[in-house]
């Protein structure tokens, strides 16, 4: 069953990168693109927990770094921490609402973009605080708007590949 989930993460990475670089590359909000692979990571973490959230976050972040020619490992670190944190938060929510995915995606995107900017600054990149805050807010809003379309699809695919109890016990 693990190979099916690995295949799912790989297909989501390829699809997400294709959409992020083509369709959403030209559909920007004042120059800000959505963080589609981060949205997919958060959707997997909400539905499947911190282990798959962190694993998918690493794979999707590394794919982002490699394809978009960003500093190697920085998106992987950011997405891994985001996936794990969202999975842990979701474990402690007793009564999820329909607004929970949008809120988690928005807050996580905002925090992840700021974290990425902060680490980039520590590595010597010139970063403007105002521009970083603006980008984080717009990316969070953009991802929140995309959540009702992406989250059910990712959740449904991940639920179909969830291991059954008889497979876990073996």
Q: What range does the domain containing 39 cover?
A: 2-165
pTM score of the predicted model:
0.90
* pLDDT score for 169: 56
Domain assignment present for residue 44? The answer is yes
- Alpha carbons 152 and 157: distance in angstroms, whole number: 9
- Alpha carbons 31 and 2: distance in angstroms, whole number: 38
Domain total in the chain: 1
Query: CATH number, domain at 122?
Result: 1.10.1760.20
DSSP codes, 67-98: HTTPSTTHHHHHHHHHHHHHHHHHHT-SS--T
Domain assignment present for residue 170? The answer is no
Closest C-alpha to 146, from 29, 4, 9: 29
Tens-digit pLDDT profile for residues 115-165:
999 999 999 888 888 999 999 999 999 999 999 999 999 999 888 877 766
List average pLDDT for each run of 10 residues in the chain, which is 170 residues long: 81 90 80 90 93 94 89 93 95 84 95 94 90 94 94 90 64
Domain assignment present for residue 80? The answer is yes
């Amino acid at each position: 069953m693990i190979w099916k989930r690995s295949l799912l993460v790989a297909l989501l990475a390829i699809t997400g990168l294709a959409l992020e670089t083509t369709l959403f590359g030209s559909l920007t909000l004042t120059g800000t693109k959505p963080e589609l692979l981060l949205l997919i990571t958060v959707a997997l973490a909400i539905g499947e927990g911190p282990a798959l959230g962190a694993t998918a976050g690493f794979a999707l972040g590394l794919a982002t770094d490699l394809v978009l020619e960003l500093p190697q490992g920085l998106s992987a670190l950011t997405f891994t921490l985001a996936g794990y944190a969202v999975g842990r938060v979701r474990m402690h929510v007793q009564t999820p609402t329909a607004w929970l995915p949008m809120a988690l995606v928005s807050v996580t995107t905002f925090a992840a973009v700021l974290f990425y900017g902060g680490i980039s600054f520590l590595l010597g990149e010139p970063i403007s605080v105002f521009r970083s805050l603006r980008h984080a807010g717009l990316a969070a809003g953009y991802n929140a708007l995309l959540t009702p379309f992406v989250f059910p699809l990712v959740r449904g695919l991940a639920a179909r590949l969830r291991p059954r109890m008889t497979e876990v016990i073996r």
